[in-house]
Chains A and B, each alone.
Chain A
Amino acid sequence: MAFTTLDLSKQSGSSLPSSITSASGLTTGKVLQVKSSPSVGGNNASSNTNYTSTSITFNITPTKASSKIFLSYVIPTNTAQANTSCKTKIYRQVNSGGYSNISDDTIMNNVYMNGASSVSQLSTLQYLDTPTYSLTDVLHYMIYFASSDGGTVNIYNEGGNKNNLTLMEIAT
Chain B
Amino acid sequence: MMIDLEKFGTAIKNLKSNVEWSLNYAETDTEMTEAIFNTIDWGTGKDADDTAITTKTNPHSELTWTKVKEEMDKL
Q: Which residues on B are within 8 Å of A, measured CB to CB?
A: 1-2, 5-6, 8-9, 12-13, 18-27, 29, 41, 43, 45-46, 49-54
Contact = CB atoms under 8 A, between A and B. Distances in A.
Given A45-B25, A101-B49, A150-B18, 6 more contacts: A44-B25, A45-B5, A48-B21, A78-B2, A80-B6, A80-B9
B51 to A, nearest CB: 5
Interface string A141-165: 0001010001110100111000000
A51 B50 contact: yes
Contact of A48 (B13, B20, B26): B20
Interface of A: 41-52, 54-55, 78, 80-81, 91, 100-101, 117-118, 144, 146, 150-152, 154, 157-159
B24 A44 contact: yes
B1 A50 contact: no
Contacts of B22: 44-48, 52
B27 A152 contact: no
